[in-house]
Each structure stands twice: as C-alpha cells, then as structure tokens.
Structure 1
Amino acid sequence: MPALRHEFFLVAAGLQGIEHLSCRAVRPKATSGWNSAGSEYRPFTSRPVGALCDTCHQRRKRNPAPCAQCGTLRTLVGRTEDGGSICGSCSGADIDFAFACRRCGYPGDIYADGFCTRCIAKDRVHELLSDEDGTVHPQLQPLTEQLGAAQSPTAVIAWTRRSDSAQMLARLAAQHQEITHEILDALPQNWQTIYVRELLVAVDVLPKRQENLARLRLWVNDVLSDLPPHHARVIRPFAEWGVLREARRRADKGRYTAGAASNDRTDIRTAIKFMTWLDDNSITLAGLSQEVLDVWLTSHPAQVRGLSTLIR
C-alpha cells in the first residue's frame, strides 16, 4: 500500500520532471527500496509543494487547514509564490487531494475503510471500554470522551492495540463495578497500575489523593508482610508511628514529595537491615550498647542517616 500510494501521487499529479521546492529531509540520492511484496517504492511523496519526506507528508495529511486561496478546509499540498499553502485544486494538480472521512467529512487523514483517525480512535476506545452489548459504564464515559478528542488520534489507536495499561482498563471495565482507589490498591503496584490510576484521576473518574503517601503505605504493608514475626514487632510500630505519622503530617500541609517518600523508604529498609545484622551477630535489642552501635555505623557509613530515625 505505501508503494502504491507514493507512485499514485507521483504519476497522477503529473509532477515528473518538474522542479520542486523539496523537503530538506529528501536528498537527491533518495534511492528506491523494496517493500514486503517485492515491489519497488520511493521513500518520499511528490506533491505540488515539492518532494516530501514521510514525516512531512503525514503531518500535512493529518493537519488540514484553510486554503490560502479558496479558504476551504483541505489537505494543503501546494504553495503560492508568496509562500501561502493551498489545496490540490487551487495548485492546478490533476488530482484532488481532499479525501474526506466517510463519517464526519474531515478532509485528509484517512486511516482505514474511508474513515479518519479521529473516528477510528473513537471506535477503538468504545470497543475497549464497552461491555457485551456495546454500552460503556457511565463512570468511564468521561474517559472515552477525552480519549476520543485527543490531539493525536493515531497515538490513541496504537495505545488501544498494544498497551498493557489499556488491557488493564478493559479488564476493569469488564468487571461491571465501580473502579475505586481501593480496587487499584489491591493490584500489583507496577507501572501499568500507576498509569491507569493517574489517567483516571486526570479525567476526574477517580478523586485526587496524596499519591506519595498512599504509595508509601502500600509499600510498607508489602514489606511488613515478608518480615519474620520478631522483626515485625519492632519494624511495624516504627513504620506506623515513626515514619507514616510524620509523613501524614507533612502531606496534610502539602509538603510531602516523592523525594521525602524515598527517604522514608530508606529509613525503613535501613531499620530492617539493622535488625537482620543484630540477628546475624546474636545481639538482642535489650543488649544493644553504644559500642555495638558504633560497630554498625563503622561498617555501614552510608546508612547513618537511615538508622538515626530508628534510634530516636
């Protein structure tokens, strides 16, 4: 299809042998290549405006604008003497480049079956988030509207087809229940979950919350679940009353940043490592002395700050 499209524009517009104002990306030695069907093709498109590289060709096709001569919203493929951009008809080409979407009439940017990328993107999003009878849950309606009106519909189409986060959203929609922060908290806290949460918050499907604090709390719960009981008896109250309480206080004032959350995780990790070191050396907390503490600090100089929170 790319080969046929390029040769179609080159031949039908009758532009061979004409001197063009060429795109800078197109070089005189732009040699031909071979597509998957074994047909020769040119890696650029010729239009009345000149020889265009694929990037410039796609940009003009996807961004129709009013013609400087007739004022009609068209794909602008020509250029006037004073530098204005004009449509194919006004440029005197033998072919009308103003292909329009069969559904919305948008000129140019045809993606498939005569439909533009905007219409295809809306269809793909609706298909992704709808149930068996084609109905989108009312909670997700703002998301479908925002994605359908995105400035880059081709990116939305690719996202619905290939993104793991899109598939996660589809699974959540298929559960036929309201999506909440608590439901997302129960999922693995990987980048897909984080992206889906931020997307739903951005379109007001979910309320905004102090995410740095919330992620710290989820992380603490995961870490504590893997600790041996005698360590958990020490680390749990330290995490709850020594770390999370201070984090909540700072979050209430709007001062709890991602860097602060990272420091708090370091303090808890250091406390766990210190408890493990005491076990390895057969030392109990009751038997902890300044001499023992000095040995730890000497052998772990980079973790002095992290341990100071536990000692306090």
Structure 2
Amino acid sequence: MGNPLTGVTWLYNPYVPRFLRDLADGSIPLTHNAFDKLEPWCAAAHLRELVMSCGLLPAVDKLLLLFERWLPGHLTAIGDHRHRRVVKEFATWKVQPWLRALAERGPLTPASRRNAGAQIMRATEFLAWLSETTRSTSGRGSRSRCCCSTAGRSAESSGSPSTTCSPTAMAS
C-alpha cells in the first residue's frame, strides 16, 4: 500500500471490521469462493487483494475476478432461459478459457476485460434479435426458426450451418 493513510481510511469503512472479524474467527473461510460471496463486493475485492499480496491466498488476476463476478448478474438478467443457457455455455467454454489463458501469460488489461464483456453482451443481443426476428416473421409464412436448424432440412440442403445460414435463407 503506497499511502498508509489510505489503509487507515479504508479501515473506517463499515464493512471492513466485520470482514476482518469474520476472517479471524473462521466465519469467512480464507478462499476465493468465500470472497466471491461477500457484499459489498468492492470492499471484499480490496480485502482479497490485500490477502493475496500477503500470500495468504493464491494470486488471481483482478480483472479476471471482476469478470467472473459480473457474469452471474448478467446471466440472471437474461429473461429467456434458453438464451441464458446458450450465453452461459458460450462464456464457460469460449470466453472464460480465453481470459484465463491471457491471465496466465501476464496481467489482463482493461481492454481484454472489456472485450470479454462485450462478447457476452453481443451474444445476448444477438439471441434477443434472432428471437424477435423469428417471432416477427413467423406470422408471414416464413420459417419460425433459423435455417441452420437440422430438424426438417432436406437432403439437398445438407450443407454445414456456417455455409447455409444467411438473412435471405431465413426469409425463404
């Protein structure tokens, strides 16, 4: 800590004495998972950084932790449970491994954290757009699902989804 006065001021935060007391008596286990559940998250994040800097917890990239803290709230806000599942799978199998791999090579940058969040947001927006588009065109005799769906595909249109899906194909 560069400025000791900052640390003294931080101690006057109403949550800090409770966090420290609970850490001391074992009510809060000394694990990253325990810190993930503490509220307010900002005070908990600062305490976690201090504990990591002392070597009491393994070091984890701060921006990775912030992304992992943000993601469940974003997923909860997605109204359609099917969209929530798809976005969660995308985050779990694509975005988080990419972020973790970057963090292993060195500290994450704010830009990489923003990029990860933007990927999740764009996937969420795309699913909402796709759902709205198929809902609005289903009443006009168009397909009610994306042409990429393998259900009901004829033998002559058995190309891969990446080569058959287009806006014009969806409207046919």
Aligned-residue CA RMSD (Å): 3.1
Kindly tell me: are residues 285 and 221 of structure 1, through their superposed partners in 2, closer, same or farther at Cα, counting changes over 3 Å? farther
Query: What is the rounded CA distance, in whole Å, between the counterparts of 1:199 and 1:277 in structure 2?
Result: 43
Question: What is aligned with 2:84?
Answer: 232
Kindly tell me: are residues 247 and 189 of structure 1, through their superposed partners in 2, closer, same or farther at Cα, counting changes over 3 Å? farther
Q: How many pairs does the alignment contain? A: 142
Other structure's SS at 2:67 match: helix
Q: 2:111 aligns with which of 240, 259, 263?
A: 259
The TM-score normalised by the length of structure 2 is 0.64
Structure holding more helix per residue: 2
Question: What is aligned with 1:280?
Answer: 132
Q: How far apart are 1:287 and its partner, in Å?
A: 4.0
2:60 counterpart of 1:212: no
Q: 1:290 aligns with which of 163, 166, 170?
A: 166
Other structure's SS at 1:164 match: coil
Kindly tell me: are residues 230 and 240 of structure 1, through their superposed partners in 2, closer, same or farther at Cα, counting changes over 3 Å? same
Residues 210-235 of structure 1, C-alpha deviations (whole Å, 9 max, x = no match): 33223323322332234322102321
Q: Is the 8 A contact 2:64 2:103 kept in 1?
A: yes
Structure holding more strand per residue: 1
Q: 2:13 aligns with which of 154, 163, 183?
A: 163
Kindly tell me: are residues 168 and 286 of structure 1, through their superposed partners in 2, closer, same or farther at Cα, counting changes over 3 Å? farther
Other structure's SS at 1:208 match: coil
Question: What is aligned with 2:98?
Answer: 246
Query: What is the rounded CA distance, in whole Å, between the counterparts of 1:285 and 1:209 in structure 2?
Result: 42
The TM-score normalised by the length of structure 1 is 0.39
Q: How far apart are 1:193 and its partner, in Å?
A: 1.5
Query: What is the rounded CA distance, in whole Å, between the counterparts of 1:286 and 1:171 in structure 2?
Result: 55
2:4 counterpart of 1:180: no
Kindly tell me: are residues 255 and 247 of structure 1, through their superposed partners in 2, closer, same or farther at Cα, counting changes over 3 Å? same
- State the identity %: 23
Kindly tell me: are residues 255 and 285 of structure 1, through their superposed partners in 2, closer, same or farther at Cα, counting changes over 3 Å? farther
Q: Quick one: which amino acid aligns to residue 262 of structure 1?
A: R
Q: Is the 8 A contact 1:172 1:179 kept in 2?
A: no
Residues 260-287 of structure 1, C-alpha deviations (whole Å, 9 max, x = no match): 0111101101111121122233166624
Q: Is the 8 A contact 2:15 2:43 kept in 1?
A: yes
Question: What is aligned with 1:269?
Answer: 121
Q: How far apart are 1:244 and its partner, in Å?
A: 1.5
Q: How far apart are 1:189 and its partner, in Å?
A: 6.2
Q: Is the 8 A contact 2:64 2:108 kept in 1?
A: yes
Query: What is the rounded CA distance, in whole Å, between the counterparts of 2:114 and 2:37 in structure 1?
Result: 22
2:68 counterpart of 1:194: no
Query: Which runs of no fewer than 5 residues in structure 2 stay unpaired?
Result: 138-143, 149-164
Q: Which has the higher contact order (CA 8 A, sep 6+)?
A: 2
Q: How far apart are 1:168 and its partner, in Å?
A: 4.2
Kindly tell me: are residues 287 and 250 of structure 1, through their superposed partners in 2, closer, same or farther at Cα, counting changes over 3 Å? same
Kindly tell me: are residues 230 and 158 of structure 1, through their superposed partners in 2, closer, same or farther at Cα, counting changes over 3 Å? closer
